[in-house]
Structure 1
Amino acid sequence: MLAFNTSPISVIHNPVSVDFPESGFMPGRPPLTRLPSACEPWETKLDDAKYLILGDEATTEEMELNERWRDQVRKLPEISIDTLRGSEVLLRRARVVLTFLVHLYVHSQVPKFDDDNPSPHLIPRSVSLPLLNLCNILSLPPVLTYSDTVLYNWIVVPNESSTKLGLDFQTTFTQTPDEAHFYRISALIEVRGIEALQLMRQCLEESSIADSLSILRIATHLRKLAVVIDEMSVLLMNMYKGCDPAVFYHRIRPWFRGGGGGKDGRLWKFEGADDLTATKFEKLSGPSAGQSSIIHALDVFLGIRHDTHMGRPKDALSSPATSTNNHSPQASESRSDPTFMTRMQNYMPQAHREFLDQLRAHSPAVRDFVQEHGLRKSDNSSKSNGFFVSFRGNILRTLSAWYFLGTIDPAEELTKSYNIAVSALKRFRDGHIKIVRTYIIDQAARDIPAFETPSDSAENLRGTGGTLLLPFLQACGENTKASLFDLK
């Protein structure tokens, strides 16, 4: 049975405190499944969208049905979000509904290939105005994100094969078990990440003490973290058990495309928005695994940097969401060429961005701590110092240190354990590349024109986040591997 811890967030009293979310990045309770009656027209149109077909695959008859639905969306009343203010639960559900409506409205149209400069997709005022108001409150862009499809979209259901409870997903584009399974895998990884966050917290607590026993405890926590990451890898590879690659690539993934990401490259325009807002949100990334806060947290904690700009489209929007954490459009534009991972943080819930900023600012950083205390052999004097420092604090701790330090070199153990944790994250990224090859690259290869080679096509494929997919993922793996310490 899945258990979600809803206890209060604890604070670590270190040089820079980090508020670790005890229940992970998923909400502690299932999200709201239906908005109040005042917003029922939105929910009704979302219910009616279950028969929609992708515009580039619809028959003439299906396109007539699609257009009838789209016309009804245009005629929706302009509903104020005032009744939702003050309740994050209501605001989150409204975001899920409205962002799904936007993607359904855009991608149920037939792509335009006969125009060198096609007009933007016009999002009708009935949807664009409440969505933009929501985005202003939640500091998120007006596009579907990972958090909308996974974190704030799940429900708990009985599992027919056991007494345990399982996760299902209320709002999907295709109503297929494949799409629900795709979201479920991400959600289960987030749940498993709760222990990863707890281990990070314990490492930071011990680093503020920094005696020999603390170093050994950090090493133990890092080895446990590696086990958790490997279990996340196992969950990731379970994608094959319930999501067919062809169904994902042809029926599910096209709905994720953001502004400018469709087959005809048309941008998005939000009716009723001022000129600045309209320009800022013309091009938007769709939901992407790159928006998962737990993966970013692991990178930040382990000190893995992705400063490479490989795979970032030159015309990509720098930062679509206004934020208080210096990831706003203005802040990003003042820096040179922000990386894909930096941009993806603007699609995360604001609390997650703030947590990552706290973790990034923490001193000492774990990798710096390992570099200072692990890249050397501890001698007898260092062991002695650790003993007496420990004695002043706790006699039991002192006896434990005296026993263990006779057989284990804390510095060597710390470095080895850090490398074990980083290697586990590298394995997770290798698994992700395998998934991408199966679900995207191999599927796309079947549509390659005769004059192109599969390798050429793979190099040019972009993810729903807008990046060159394979080069970017390979660069992330290389960056992770480069973080390993040389033990020779």
Structure 2
Amino acid sequence: MLPPIPVLSDYGISPTHGFLPEVLPLTRLPDPYYNKWEAVAANLQGLILSKRLRGVVDRLPVLSTVGLEHDAEWRRAYSLLAFIAHGYIWGGDSPSDRLPPSISVPFLKIARRVELPPIATYAAVCLWNFKPLFMDEGIDHLENLATLHTFTGGLDESWFYLVSVAMEARGGPIMSLMMTAIAAAREGDSAVVTRCLRGFAERLDDLVQLLQRMHESCDPTIFYHRIRPFLAGTKNMAEAGLPHGLIYDTGSGGEEEVYTQYSGGSNAQSSLIQFFDIVLGIEHRPTGDKKKRPSAGDDGDGGHAPPAPRHNFIMDMRRYMPGPHARFLHDVAAVANIRAFVEGRPGDAPLRIAYDGCLSMLRAMRDKHIGIVSRYIVVPSREVRARSRSRSPEAVRRAGRPTMPQSQPAAEARKRQNLATASVGIAFEAHTSSDPDQQKKNLKGTGGTALISFLKQARDETGEPAVEEWTQRFMSRNMKYEGAGDFFAGKDGQHGGATEEVEVNGLAGTWTVDDDVGGICNY
């Protein structure tokens, strides 16, 4: 007997807004008992700027969670404490590896209630951190959105979060559409499945257009140096000053207080993108694993390959999604049948074209995302590394730039200067090479996976289920460039190494990125 098709409402998922809450996020906790939290959050930017946040938080009382009643209040409290916690950890001259009881005690309880880790997740900074400017306009329009909290108080940070919010809202109806498609596939109704896939592809095109708007109001330099440090987690942060992670101080002083490590906030924690992969039957392998070709003696198994191993990083990111959302993805995977349905109808051209169209649009979205990662992360990190290699702390001091006191070792000075770079949640390995190509390979994601390699492999795997031969060739092609072999012997098919660039036309004009990284935030 086939498992039942998941019902969105059973998982708190909106048929119109998707994984965004059905009830808009609260702008304030209704119980005055929590005014102290609200006051700190309302003045977060000033407290961080004046370096007074830690003193204020240390003097806060340990508030009980008994006054939190409805789900919206629990979500508001989680987002509040996540912002305060990250401001406390990363808002000083050096990071704090201990979170005081005034935050730790309620944060741990609230995190358990909302089924999330006690860290600033994608849910805390995006899903539950927005409000519409006008109630009679949709929340899938960027011009109608505002954030509730930021670390910097700047437009760039708000825009970074709100692009994701608008994409979540615009993509929400896709879930109802594809649940209908799954039900239709069970009944053998090819016309309905085709119609749903066409609607899916159109919505994906809308999401690509929204993603391309990231650069309208979010400057890469501000994002990399001012915003990303506050989104860092406590995992893989040795270079940033948290070699062991973070202690959640509950005041007990017992053995329960141990160092813990969590990944930082990332778009990889969006349930929407994982839903797309699951419903289309896209399988992701561990980073670096190649697709296995069928052996000559393979007699076939009806077109169904053995299931791919579960991708550790992708599955780990589900721990950073609200519990009901992660369970929804698990249950959808048990009923996903669209890929098998399409593969089983080789003569149904409209169905197969619609399916391949969805894969093509999703691949295009990942291509744009790789370009954004390049522009907002890879290029700024390379610039920082180039400056750190060419300028000693003494040279920086002579140029009038801030540096550590001369009495401290030069190594400590370099560490202080690179705090923002190292604490971004996606940083270089400690054994960074001077080779730019090797640096990109060493660039790590929040989950410890190789960032660019992971993104490019995920993009390439998106096109693998394509059913039409032409589509397969189109989405697996490697770009060739005239004259690429004239000066770069031994690098066939590569375009000029790290200094070569390719132009990308965006809505705000033309900009360039490294070709071997990709075309246009952090998946």
TM-score, normalising length from structure 1?
Answer: 0.75
Q: Is contact 1:306–1:339 with CA below 8 Å preserved after alignment?
A: no
**Residues 248-287 of structure 1: CA distance to partner in whole angstroms, max 9, x if unpaired?**
11110110001135422431010128878655x7111111
Q: Is contact 1:14–1:205 with CA below 8 Å preserved after alignment?
A: no
Q: 1:418 to 1:147 in 2, by over 3 A?
A: same
Match among 157, 167, 179 for residue 189 of structure 1: 167
Correspondences of 1:278-357 after superposition (within 5 Å): 278-279=257-258, 282-310=260-288, 339-357=312-330
- The offset of 1:76, in angstroms, is 0.8
Q: 1:463 to 1:276 in 2, by over 3 A?
A: farther
Q: 1:338 to 1:215 in 2, by over 3 A?
A: closer
Aligned to 2:26: 32
| Unmatched runs of 5 consecutive residues or more in structure 2 | 290-308, 390-432, 471-523
- The offset of 1:202, in angstroms, is 2.0
Q: Is contact 2:443–2:451 with CA below 8 Å preserved after alignment?
A: yes
Q: Distance in 2 between matches of 1:122 and 1:191?
A: 36
Q: Is contact 2:248–2:257 with CA below 8 Å preserved after alignment?
A: yes
Aligned to 2:4: 16
Q: Is 1:365 paired with 2:347? A: no
Q: Match for 1:468: what amino acid?
A: A
Q: Match for 1:470: what amino acid?
A: I
Q: Is contact 2:181–2:193 with CA below 8 Å preserved after alignment?
A: yes
Q: Is contact 1:50–1:175 with CA below 8 Å preserved after alignment?
A: yes
Aligned to 2:60: 76
Q: Give the SS at the match of 2:274.
A: helix
Q: Distance in 1 between matches of 2:41 and 2:377?
A: 27
Match among 369, 374, 377 for residue 440 of structure 1: 377
Q: Distance in 1 between matches of 2:117 and 2:66?
A: 19
**Residues 46-73 of structure 1: CA distance to partner in whole angstroms, max 9, x if unpaired?**
22321245xxxxxxxx6xx41x320221
Q: Is 1:414 paired with 2:351? A: yes
Q: Is contact 2:269–2:317 with CA below 8 Å preserved after alignment?
A: yes
Q: Is contact 1:207–1:215 with CA below 8 Å preserved after alignment?
A: yes
Match among 111, 125, 128 for residue 149 of structure 1: 125
Q: Distance in 1 between matches of 2:114 and 2:60?
A: 23
Match among 201, 207, 220 for residue 232 of structure 1: 207
Match among 241, 246, 255 for residue 264 of structure 1: 241
Match among 443, 460, 468 for residue 461 of structure 1: 443
Aligned to 1:51: 46
- The offset of 1:464, in angstroms, is 4.1
Aligned to 1:215: 190
Q: 1:457 to 1:440 in 2, by over 3 A?
A: same
**Residues 316-373 of structure 1: CA distance to partner in whole angstroms, max 9, x if unpaired?**
xxxxxxxxxxxxxxxxxxxx985111111111111211211121111x621122222x
| Unmatched runs of 5 consecutive residues or more in structure 1 | 1-12, 54-61, 113-119, 312-335, 378-410
Aligned to 2:362: 425
Which moves more between the two structures, 14-23 or 97-106? Answer: 14-23
Aligned to 2:300: none
Q: Distance in 2 between matches of 1:276 and 1:184?
A: 41
Normalized per residue, the structure richer in helix is 1
Q: Is contact 2:121–2:269 with CA below 8 Å preserved after alignment?
A: yes
Identical counterparts, % of pairs: 31
Q: Give the SS at the match of 1:208.
A: helix
**Residues 73-115 of structure 1: CA distance to partner in whole angstroms, max 9, x if unpaired?**
112111110111x411110000001111110000012337xxx
Match among 250, 260, 267 for residue 225 of structure 2: 250
Q: 1:461 to 1:273 in 2, by over 3 A?
A: farther
Q: Give the SS at the match of 1:485.
A: coil
- The offset of 1:15, in angstroms, is 4.0
